[in-house]
Amino acid sequence: MKRYGKKTIIYILLSIWATLTLYPFFWVIINSFKPSSDIIRDSLSIPITNFTFDNYIKAFTSDYNIFRSYMNSFIVSFSVVFAVLIIAGFASYALARYNFKGKKLVYAFIIACMMFPIFSVIYPLHQILINLKLNGSRLGVILPQIAGNVSFAVVILTGFIQQLPVEVEESAYIDGANIFQILFIVVFPMAKSAFASTAIFVFLWSYNDLFLQMVIIQDKDKMPICALLKEISSKYGTDFGLMASSVTLIIVPVIIVYILLQNHIIKGLTAGAIKG
Amino acid sequence: MYKNKWIAYLFITPMLLFLIVFLIYPFSVNIYNSFFKYKSVLDRNPAYVGVNNYVQLFTTRQFKIAIENTLLLTILVIVFQVGIALILALLVSEIKRLAGFFKTAYFIPIVISATALGLMFLMFFREKGGLFNQILANFNLEPIRWLNGMDSNVTLASMFLPTIWQYIGFYFVIFLTALNTISDEMLEAAKIDGANDFTLTFKIKLPLIQNVTRVVLVLAITGTLKVFDLPYILNPIANPNGETFLLGTYMYHVSYFANKNLGLASAFAVILAILGVGFSGLVNVVFKQNKDI
């Protein structure tokens, strides 16, 4: 009897926190189907008689093109992920397998780079991008984001490659494979779970990062989704219906992907952080 | 086969190039600029002033406020974010059914961008017709000016609430993973020896996950230094009267709006980086890694 009571209390407490976590998202989604005036009057009810798609029509026909922003986000984030995996893959292999002069120093340098917040260099960074004629372009967001993520990726991948057995590489080498064949046919496929975790971490970081997007890109046609959302809110912040539909449009795809890939995502994000 | 050193150097070069061009070089520029006084952003002949910018920064009211607020947030993060995460993890480790569901649910806010969360909470905090004031109205309570009032404590609380709420699930998963590695045999043996829940938790579980706790604290503390998106979306100009700046939001403000002295912003950036590296070093010393576990 006593055990039964204890379990009940545990489930009640856990359910309360689950509600506090999930209800905000539920609230936004149901309210995105209500007229703005009803959200302000009574946001707690479920839309039945006042159900409407108007907020979505407005979101897609306003002078802000949400679809194009999604495309911008994907272009930026996939480029960052691709570049980080390639650059970090090579560097990690060198750090995991070779003994070279200055290796310890390079590693300490990578750790230090991981510590420091990218916004502490934003002003000089912005000047560099202006000099490189990259200010306002998607590439101007991509390059610093690569720099901001590569050190973390190297730490994760180096740790993983070190644990791989050397014998497979050695036998491939004896069979006459060159270094690039060894990397792409032997090492990288064996490390694919570590690459997947890293890719997820880097993708979410890049997709969700507002700071660089906001500072570098001023043209709303080139804005990734976070920067565009901020623009919409500063212009139409009082239109609750439009706000709710815009927020729903950005969170629902992420939640769907999250539910499909949750084990990889949770592993990727927490493993990444612990190594740091 | 690993004798050919030039391959190693070739492989690390692209990484080093990115880090140097986009992090180290701009940071060096910051260090250099922090010793000069600029009369305008385009000042071609800034005057060398030594450590004056640093001195000036420490006497600026808003800088002190930003430091105080960030320290306050750090303490709240340790107590509430890490504390609630640990309690939830201890609870979930006790159950089998629905454990997966709770893990999935608690982690959701982490994958959502802080921008979207910020806009969501703006709708909750709105004075007229926001969710929180509607709930208050249902209990016949007066509406509260969550973000636009004159009481900076209310505003700070409103900015901190979503910031702390978002990452609880993150540390929860880290704690839970650690708790799940504790062997059942050990816990059963302790129970047979008469250990109650209190003893199990404080004498066995918590000491065993102490290395993970250290990592969590480093992450949580250095994380608060980097907090920017959520507070910025909720309260970009630090209402009321700049009293709710955090280091991140004040950095942005100083760099782009506050004044024409680039040197001051650079000094700030240098301090911020030193704080980041220093803080994590400090936590690592205080919570020394226990090699016995």
pLDDT digits (tens, 9 = 90+) for A136-159: 999 999 999 999 999 888 988 888
CATH number at residue B83: 1.10.3720.10
Residues of B in contact with A115 (CB under 8 A): 222, 273, 276-277, 280
Give CA–CA dist B142/B124, Å, rounded. Answer: 15
Distances (CA, A) of A124 to A114, A171, B63, B272: 19, 48, 21, 15
Contact A112 B277 (CB under 8 A): yes
Contact B33 A124 (CB under 8 A): yes
Best mutation target, A43, A107, A116, to test chain B (most B CBs within 10 A): A116
**Which structural domain range is residue B81 located in?**
47-286
Q: Nearest by CB to A266, which of B101, B173, B248? A: B173
Best mutation target, B3, B22, B32, to test chain A (most A CBs within 10 A): B22
- Min Cα separation B61/chain A (Å): 20
Distances (CA, A) of A51 to A217, A241, B160: 36, 12, 34
Residues of B in contact with A246 (CB under 8 A): 119
Out of A2-11, A128-137, A185-194, least confident range:
A2-11
Partner A contacted by B32 (CB < 8 A): no
Out of B116-125, B181-190, B219-228, least confident range:
B219-228
Residues of B in contact with A261 (CB under 8 A): none
Does residue B23 belong to any structural domain of this protein?
Answer: no
Contact B119 A258 (CB under 8 A): no
pLDDT digits (tens, 9 = 90+) for B36-50: 988 877 777 888 988
- Min Cα separation B162/chain A (Å): 11
Contact B22 A143 (CB under 8 A): yes
Mean pLDDT of A98-110: 89
Return the pLDDT at B89: 95
Mean pLDDT of A123-127: 88
Which residue does chain B place closest to A214, by CA atoms? B229
**DSSP-derived secondary structure for A206-236:** HHH--HHHHHH---TTT--HHHHHHHHHHHH
Return the pLDDT at B227: 86
Out of A35-39, A44-48, B105-109, B131-135, least confident range:
A44-48
- Min Cα separation B74/chain A (Å): 16
CA R_g for chain B: 24
Does residue B206 belong to any structural domain of this protein?
Answer: yes
- Min Cα separation B40/chain A (Å): 14
pLDDT digits (tens, 9 = 90+) for A43-93: 888 887 888 888 888 888 777 788 888 899 999 999 999 999 999 999 999
N- to C-terminal Cα distance for chain A?
45
Q: Domain tally for chain B?
A: 1
Q: What is the ipTM of this complex?
A: 0.86
Q: Taking the CB of residue B259, how many other CB atoms lie within 10 A of it?
A: 15
Instruction: Specify the CATH architecture of the domain A59-275.
Output: Orthogonal Bundle (1.10)
Backbone angles phi, psi at A53, to 5 degrees: -100, 5
Partner A contacted by B111 (CB < 8 A): yes
Contact A128 B26 (CB under 8 A): yes
pLDDT digits (tens, 9 = 90+) for B226-285: 888 899 999 988 888 889 999 888 888 887 776 667 888 889 889 888 887 787 777 777
Banded model confidence at residue B188, pLDDT cuts 50, 70, 90:
confident
Partner A contacted by B150 (CB < 8 A): no
- Min Cα separation A211/chain B (Å): 7
Q: What DSSP character marks residue B258?
A: I
B55-87: b or e for each residue (b if 16 or more CB lie within 10 Å)?
A: ebbeebebbebbbebbeebbebbeeebbebbbe
Distances (CA, A) of B257 to B236, B239, B252, B281, B292: 12, 15, 8, 32, 52
Return the pLDDT at B291: 60
Contact B255 A122 (CB under 8 A): yes
Which residue does chain A place closest to B14, by CA atoms? A87
Banded model confidence at residue A276, pLDDT cuts 50, 70, 90:
very low
Banded model confidence at residue B293, pLDDT cuts 50, 70, 90:
low
Q: Is the pLDDT of residue A275 over 50?
A: no
Contact A94 B11 (CB under 8 A): yes
Q: Is the pLDDT of residue B138 over 50?
A: yes
pLDDT digits (tens, 9 = 90+) for A9-29: 999 999 999 999 999 999 999
Question: Do A45 and A28 touch, CB atoms closer than 8 A?
Answer: no
Residues of A in contact with B104 (CB under 8 A): 259, 262
Contact B280 A110 (CB under 8 A): no
Q: Is the pLDDT of residue B222 over 80?
A: no
Return the pLDDT at B171: 92
Which residue does chain B place closest to A127, by CA atoms? B26
Contact B265 A123 (CB under 8 A): yes
Does residue B37 belong to any structural domain of this protein?
Answer: no
Mean pLDDT of A248-276: 77
Q: Report domain extents, chain A.
A: 2-31, 59-275
